Structure 1
């Protein structure tokens, strides 16, 4: 199954490691936005790396970093509200558009402030697009008893 919008457009751009699918100009902009948001929020880069891997610590600076990054990408406004027109415009042609929009609709969450709102939305996107992170590991093989 092709990757959904949320991976390509939202979750993937959150992590610089996923930049191989973007043009050089897009990669530069992603890196620049990330660096600017780190400087603005003073977040510990280790926390960003953890979030990139699906571990979402409760950290105010990380929450505000997430809002900053999404806002610079145009996905949310200053209030943390998803800009659906921008999201729709950036859905790759190879993505399952209907499924991607269902996930965006499911993830319309509200936190106590704009930073927490965007952080909750990001966590929701991640959960819906990274099933390995949310599923129980496959049952371990039971050793054969050959006695």
Structure 2
């Protein structure tokens, strides 16, 4: 259970609300945390043909509506139970795991971006992620 909670915290922080420069892993995301996320990351990468190069491009600010990335993001959100059975973002759960120092910023991003819809679940992840990246590029990092 502790590993799952840590994984969710890392995923939430890395995907939506951490103060980092583009492409750089935040200091508080430790190697141990990345190791916890690794099995789900590898599974989602394999399922959707995602490469580290594609992830690096996104972290450098070049998010495109590429299913290898957007479906990868959706897969990670599913793996960490941040999407309900109807495909809706579990906003309350997401907010509950965000560190206190990031809550105000995260709540603003969630208010503006979390309820946006795309043409399918993967495109919805793109639309939400693009909103976050456009609104606060300084807060973007993807595992």
Would you call these one fold, judging by a TM-score over 0.5?
yes
54-63 vs 109-118, which moves further: 54-63
Task: Return the match for 2:106 from 100, 106, 119.
Answer: 100
Larger radius of gyration: 1
CA distance in structure 2 between the partners assigned to 1:124 and 1:85 by the alignment: 19
| Misfit runs of 4+, over 3 Å | 22-25, 77-80
CA distance in structure 1 between the partners assigned to 2:98 and 2:129 by the alignment: 16
Which protein, 1 or 2, shows the higher relative CO under an 8 Å CA cutoff with sep ≥ 6?
2
In structure 2, list runs of 5 or more residues that go unmatched.
Answer: 1-10
Task: Return the match for 2:80 from 66, 70, 73.
Answer: 73
Residue in 2 aligned with 1:51?
Answer: 58
TM-score by length of 2: 0.70
- Is the 2:48–2:72 contact (alpha carbons within 8 Å) kept by the matching residues of 1? yes
- Is the 2:17–2:105 contact (alpha carbons within 8 Å) kept by the matching residues of 1? no
TM-score by length of 1: 0.69
Aligned-residue Cα RMSD (Å) equals 3.1
Residues 13-92 of structure 1 mapped to structure 2, 5 A cutoff: 18=25, 20-22=27-29, 25-77=32-84, 79-92=86-99
Q: Deviations over 1:46-103 (max 9, x none)?
A: 22211122101232222111111222233323554210121111110222x2332121
Distance 1:68 1:103, change over 3 A: same
Q: State how many pairs are aligned.
A: 126
Matching of residue 117 in structure 1 with residue 124 in structure 2: yes
